[in-house]
């Protein structure tokens, strides 16, 4: 998942969920899709946490600059 964009990961995750909900695929394919989805969900969660941390740091830096 190197170099993957958050939006691309979310779109693929949505596709996986739709395929699993639709059914009609083999158990092996379902398991593979589930594994891919779990990996994408972890990637998205990490990306959101990193963005939140960055925003928190930038906000704190801005508040410190205003105090000077």
Reported as a pLDDT band with limits 50, 70 and 90, residue 3 is: confident
CA angle 62/52/55 to nearest 5° reads 15
User: pLDDT of 15-64, one tens digit each?
Assistant: 999 999 999 999 999 999 999 999 999 999 999 999 999 999 999 887 77
| DSSP per-residue letters across 14-30 | HHHHHHHHH--S-HHHH
Contact 37, 14 (CB under 8 A): no
Residue 67 has pLDDT above 60, yes or no: yes
Instruction: For residue 52, give the H/E element and its range.
Output: helix 27-67
Q: How far apart are CA 52 and CA 45, in angstroms?
A: 11
pTM for the model stands at: 0.80
């Amino acid at each position: 998942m190197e170099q993957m964009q958050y939006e691309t990961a979310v779109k693929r995750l949505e596709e996986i969920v739709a395929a699993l909900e639709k059914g009609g695929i083999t158990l092996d394919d379902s398991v593979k899709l589930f594994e891919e989805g779990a990996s994408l969900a972890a990637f998205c969660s990490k990306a959101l946490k990193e963005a939140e941390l960055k925003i928190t740091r930038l906000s704190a830096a801005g508040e410190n600059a205003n105090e000077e």
